[in-house]
């Protein structure tokens, strides 16, 4: 029997999890994907920042794709989803400080950002605070999260291998 020139990708799928981390406002809830091999020291981690009126769950389709080769984190921003609110603190400021607390607790020194909608305002402030730690930022427009082929485009932009077949 003749063999095709392309061998199937036999990588196991990423592990999709939810977790809570402590931050200065209480508990931070997030969705994350970890490569089956453990997730640490593979490719650069990705942090996904949702817009207002959303939660980290909006990134679940991307976690399933990007998580094959890297750790991917999609937190619920303060007061959204299951993350505690930040009383008396603005949405952008609380989002930045919550992300900084998370990055410090996980000792993430370099990462890529994927933002959705007005999550870009948080990314801009985070870039001022973390500078060189952010390798690249990709901004998604509202509605783009459901676009066909988005996972493959992000893989190409972030530097990953092809999707499993």
pLDDT digits (tens, 9 = 90+) for 79-112: 999 999 999 999 999 999 999 999 999 999 999 9
Query: 138: how many CB neighbours lie within 10 A of its CB?
Result: 16
Given a contact cutoff of 8 angstroms between Cβ atoms, the answer to whether 88 and 94 are in contact is no
Given a contact cutoff of 8 angstroms between Cβ atoms, the answer to whether 66 and 72 are in contact is yes
Class in CATH terms, 15-144: alpha beta
pLDDT of res. 8: 55
Q: Identify which of 133, 62, 125 has the alpha carbon closest to the alpha carbon of residue 98.
A: 125
Q: Is the dihedral of CA 86, 135, 156, 63 positive or negative?
A: negative
* Measured CA distances, 146 to 90, 95, 138, 143, 149 (Å): 29, 24, 15, 6, 9
Cα–Cα distance, 143 to 97 (Å, whole number):
27
Q: Give 50-86 pLDDT, tens digit per residue.
A: 998 899 999 999 999 999 889 999 999 999 999 999 9
pLDDT of res. 5: 56
pTM over 0.85: yes
Q: Is the pLDDT of residue 1 over 80?
A: no
When pLDDT is cut at 50, 70 and 90, the band that residue 128 belongs to is: very high
């Amino acid at each position: 029997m003749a063999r095709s020139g392309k061998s199937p990708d036999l990588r196991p799928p990423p592990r999709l999890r939810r977790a809570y981390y402590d931050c200065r406002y209480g508990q931070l809830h997030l969705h994350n994907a970890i490569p089956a091999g453990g997730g640490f020291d593979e490719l650069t981690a990705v942090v996904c920042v949702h817009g207002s009126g959303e939660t980290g769950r909006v990134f679940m389709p991307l976690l399933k794709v990007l998580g094959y080769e890297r750790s991917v984190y999609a937190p619920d921003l303060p007061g959204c989803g299951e993350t505690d609110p930040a009383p008396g603190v603005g949405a952008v400021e609380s989002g930045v400080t919550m992300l900084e607390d998370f990055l410090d607790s996980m000792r993430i020194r370099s990462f890529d950002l994927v933002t959705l909608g007005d999550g870009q305002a948080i990314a801009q402030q985070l870039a001022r605070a973390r500078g060189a730690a952010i390798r690249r930022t990709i901004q998604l427009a509202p509605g783009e999260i459901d676009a066909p082929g988005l996972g493959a485009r992000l893989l190409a932009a972030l530097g990953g291998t092809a999707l499993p077949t």
